[in-house]
Amino acid sequence: MRLEARNKILNLYAPLLIVGVLAGCSSLVLEQDERPVSLTHTNFNSLPGWAHGDQGDALLPFWLSCQRLNRPANLNSHVSVRFGSMKLWRRSCRKLDTKKFGNHIYARKFFEKNFRAYLVTQKFSGKTEGLFTGYYEPQFDGSLKRFGEYQTPIYPAPDNLNQTTGRYFSRKQINNGALQNYVEPIAWLKNPVDVFFLQIQGSGLIKLPNGEIVRVGYAGHNRHPYTSIGRVLINRQELSKEALSMQAIRSWLKNNPMKVIGLLELNARYIFFSLIKGSGPLGAQGVVLTPGRSLAIDPRFLTYGLPVWIDTKDPLNIDIAFQRLLISQDTGGAIRGAVRGDIFFGHGLSAAKRAGHMNRRGRYFVFLPK
C-alpha cells in the first residue's frame, strides 16, 4: 500500500463532491456533460473473470449498503441521482434474497438480471486505467491510561475543533503539547510511529495490558494538507518507487530513529479518534467494512454503495489476476481520481501483508440498476 492512500478523510473541499445515493441522502441529477467520468455499457460476459468469480461474497456488503436507503430521510425521496434514481436502487435492493449470501451462481444471476455494467473512464483524459492500493485495520499494544511504556497519546476531536476556522494545530504543535488544555487522550500507544500508522489507516484495534481488545475509529482531522512520507523518502532517494510499501517505510523508520519525529512532522495533518463498538471499522458510508469486499473511492467521481467489478493484479504476485466484485463504501484523503481504488483487506498479519504490497494498475466497472 502506498501510505498516502489512507487517511479515512472525506475531502470536504472538493468542488465536485457528490453525496452518494446510498450514503444516506439523494443529490441532484447532473447532466451528462457535467459528469467527471464517462460510463461505457459493457456486457457482463465481457467482464474479465466474471464467469468464474466469487460474487456471492459481495452480497452481504451490498445488502449493508442497501440498508442506508431505509433511513427515514430517504423513504419519500424520488429525486434522480447521477448513478440511478432512488426508486431503482430500492427496487433492486428489495429483490436481493438474503438467504443466498455466499452463493456465487445466484449472485451472478442477480446482478446480470437487475443491473447493467459500465466501464469507468476519466472523461477529460480518456484513461480507463488507474491505481489500486490497499488498507487494513492494524492492531497495536496500548493502554487507556498513561503508564510505563505507553507514552504516546491518541486524541479525540477537541471541542473547539469546529469552533475555529482555517487550520487547527499542526502535528508538530500537537506533539509539543498544544492540546493539553483542551482534551484528554482516549488511549496511549508505545511510540509515535504506531500512532502515525494508526492515523494512516484511519481505524484500528488496541490490545490492552489485560488482553482486552478495543477499537478506535476516525473522528476528524486538523484541516492541514496531507503529505506522504513515502513520497518524501522517494524524493530524498532513501527508498525507490518500486520498493515503496508500508513494510519498507516501517523498516526505514526503525533503522533511522533519530530522524523519525522530523519526518513524521512533515505531514502536518493529524487524525483524531473515538472509541467505537461493533464488529468492524466503519467506512465513510456509515456501514461496517467487509474484508476483501469494501472499496474506498473518490466521491468526487463515484458514489457510495456501488457494486464495482475490479480488474487488476494480485498484490503478492503480479502474474495472478485480481478480479472481483467489491462495494464502494469508503474514501480516503489521498484516494483521488476517477479510476482510483483502495481495497480494505481486514485485520491481521495476512491483511497487513496484502495491503502493504497492493500497488497495482487496473480498471473497474460499476453496476447501475436497470
Q: Kindly report the average pLDDT of the chain as a whole number.
A: 87
Q: Is the pLDDT of residue 23 over 80?
A: no
Residue range 144-151: mean pLDDT, rounded:
97
In sequence order, the 6+-apart residues with CB closer than 8 A to the CB of 3 are 200, 228, 229, 230, 246, 249
| Among 212, 231, 364, residue whose Cα is nearest residue 277 | 212
Question: Does an H or E element contain 141, and which?
Answer: strand 139-143
Range scoring the smallest mean pLDDT among 6-15, 40-49, 329-338: 6-15
Range scoring the smallest mean pLDDT among 42-51, 82-91, 101-110: 82-91
pTM over 0.75: yes
pLDDT in tens, 102-120: 999 999 999 999 999 999 9
Q: What does the alpha-carbon distance between residue 150 and residue 153 come to, in Å, rounded to a whole number? A: 8
Residue range 285-296: mean pLDDT, rounded:
95
Q: What does the alpha-carbon distance between residue 196 and residue 101 come to, in Å, rounded to a whole number? A: 37
Q: Is the pLDDT of residue 20 over 80?
A: no
> What is the pLDDT, as a whole number, of residue 25?
36
Q: Is the pLDDT of residue 240 over 50?
A: yes
Confidence of residue 165 (pLDDT cuts 50, 70, 90): confident
Q: Is the pLDDT of residue 130 over 50?
A: yes
Residue range 65-91: mean pLDDT, rounded:
72
Q: How far is CA 216 from CA 26, 67, 152, 225, 280, in A?
A: 29, 24, 15, 23, 10
Confidence of residue 163 (pLDDT cuts 50, 70, 90): confident
Question: Does an H or E element contain 153, and which?
Answer: strand 152-154
Higher pLDDT, 161 or 58: 58
Looking up cell 508500508 gives: 246
> What is the pLDDT, as a whole number, of residue 24?
41
> What is the pLDDT, as a whole number, of residue 162?
84
Q: Which structural domains are found in the chain, ordered by start?
A: 21-133+298-350+358-369 (2.40.40.10), 135-276 (2.40.240.50)
For 270-299, b/e burial (b = at least 16 CB within 10 A) is bbbbeeeeeebbbbbbbbbbbbbbbbbbbb
> What is the pLDDT, as a whole number, of residue 35?
55
| HSE-up of residue 159 (Cα within 13 Å, Cβ side) | 5
Give percent of the chain above pLDDT 70: 87
The Cα angle at residue 306 between residues 303 and 307, in degrees rounded to 5:
155
Q: Crossing angle for the helix pair 246-255 and 349-357, nearest 10 degrees?
A: 100
% helix, strand, coil for the chain, step of 5: 30, 25, 45
> What is the pLDDT, as a whole number, of residue 72?
58
Higher pLDDT, 71 or 204: 204
Residue range 41-54: mean pLDDT, rounded:
96
Let me know: does 18 contact 82? Beta carbons within 8 Å.
yes
Higher pLDDT, 156 or 241: 156
| Among 194, 220, 218, residue whose Cα is nearest residue 206 | 194
DSSP code string of 283-342: -TTSSB--TTTEEE--TTTS-TT-EEEEEEE-SS-TTSEEEEEEEEEE--TT--SSSEEE
> What is the pLDDT, as a whole number, of residue 81?
54
Give percent of the chain above pLDDT 90: 71
Let me know: does 157 contact 126? Beta carbons within 8 Å.
no
Let me know: does 133 contact 343? Beta carbons within 8 Å.
yes
Confidence of residue 83 (pLDDT cuts 50, 70, 90): confident
Q: How many residues does the chain have?
A: 370
All three cell numbers of 48, joined, read 474479465
All three cell numbers of 201, joined, read 489507516
Confidence of residue 198 (pLDDT cuts 50, 70, 90): very high
